[in-house]
Amino acid sequence: MSSPTTPRRVSLLTLGCARNEVDSEELAGRLTAGGWELVDEEADVVVVNTCGFVESAKKDSVDTLLAASDSNAKVVAVGCMAERYGKELAESLPEASAVLGFDHYANLADRLDDVVAGRTVESHVPQDRRTLLPITPVKRQEAAADVQVPGHGWGPRVMRTRLDDAPVAPLKIASGCDRRCSFCAIPSFRGAFVSRHPDEIVAEAMWLAENGVREVFLVSENSTSYGKDLPRELGNMEQLLPRLAAIPGIDRVRVSYLQPAETKPGLVQTIAKTDGVADYFDMSFQHSSEPVLRRMRRFGNTESFLKLVELIREHAPEAGIRSNVIVGFPGETEEDVVELERFLTEARLDAVGVFGYSDEDGTEAEEFDGKLDADTITERVTRIGNLVEELTSQRAEDRVGTEVVVLIEQEADDAADEDCVGRAAHQAPEVDGECIVLEAGDLRTGDLVRCRVDASEGVDLVVTPIEVVPR
């Protein structure tokens, strides 16, 4: 363990989405600035950045906290689950030395000093973070200066330390959400929607490029809302994307978390036609049956979604389109499932996550009648999942014979293994499949390589290098 003359050591464990990954790197930056040394083992404190999105994520978070407590280190919970449950989590998990919310992030180094010294740190008391900012979006920027919003308000200095050397990194453009989907609790603990200043985003992207990143992955709870709370002269996503794509060293900009009802033709065209922006559309459809979508408090239907898919492919025929869908929502009928099947069959998306509905604490849907039994939900997840597997495999097979530009993310293990792994423009990190690059030769992590698609394996592509794209 640390002595009084050596830096105190901390390790960070991150669960959940790419937004949490950005938050962890912010915490790493704040902790190193506060005199803490980042380590992988033999830490004085283990900070677990938890996820509180769905029940399985909460269980993973608790399991990780318990596993961390088996070491000699103090354990501190931060992140969404800690923000959402605070004292309740602390009382049910005495193994954690502290449960800290977003308001603790700015002074986390001091709070960890307290933990190591044995001083009591009061657990976070949850509140609805939507109430911390004005209802009117254009009034939020000034008020946000007095509210702790992870990843915002750093000023000219990038308060971030990279926790890996991957050639792709998430970049937060906004936090929070103004939508009121009946199944989702995220706005209550992430707060109202707040955009980051575009100059701050560009500065961080430049910093990432200087640290070896070639692809930035723009993340938020709702990227289509970016700029709605900013002065008009600061622009929106259509103005931000070309600025990011023009940064030396950044060869690919990827946008995530688009709301179909807010995705306008101008944004589709900007993504499709801007050099350096990936032809990639992460559309949050969730379902396509209009009655189910209305109960979800969402907009759209099969026909409007198909028109959006058609518009995307009109501008970018090879674009990757992914989505998530929820089946088994309260009141969902057989006719609703058939309608979802029709949409998926006609849309031919590249990747689809299929989730069974489960109640979330404090959401409107938790009180809905018409709940389906677990066996029915499981059957529908399997049914839609099998259809999705077939359709996405067909979509990948359609790419055989085409060319893709692959970002190498994993080199060959040794000289005997000549294959390496990367992702094409239509494949986002971790969720959309990968490219297996045959006869990789001297290819290294971070290389961009134009490749020929020779075969497909499910959603994965088997490709052969043609030429390395200059940096």
Selection from 245, 10, 191 nearest residue 1 by Cα? 10
CA 93/CA 64 separation, integer angstroms:
12
Q: Would you say 435 is a known binding-site residue?
A: no
> Annotated binding residue at 420?
no
Q: Strand 8-14 vs strand 36-38: parallel, antiparallel, or unpaired? A: parallel
How far apart, in whole angstroms, are the C-alpha atoms of residue 313 and residue 165? 34
Output the CA–CA distances (angstroms, integers) from residue 29 to 16, 22, 25, in the order listed.
Answer: 20, 11, 6
Judge whether 451 is annotated as a binding position: no
Q: Is 51 annotated as a binding residue?
A: yes
Report yes or no: 195 and 242 within 8 Å, Cβ to Cβ. Answer: no
How far is residue 36's CA from residue 323's CA, in Å, rounded to a whole number?
A: 40
Q: Are 173 and 201 in contact (CB under 8 A)?
A: yes
User: If DSSP codes are grouped into helix, strand and coil, which group holds residue 317?
Assistant: coil
Task: List b or e across 73-101, with b for residues whose CB sees 16 or more CB atoms inside 10 angstroms.
Answer: bbbbbbbbbbbbbbeebbeebeebbbbbb
Rounded-to-integer distance, Cα 74 and Cα 58, Å = 20
Q: What angle do CA 319, 171, 410 make, to 5 degrees?
A: 65
Provide the residue type at 73 as one letter. A
Bind-site residues:
17, 51, 80, 177, 181, 184
Binding residues for [4Fe-4S] cluster are 17, 51, 80, 177, 181, 184
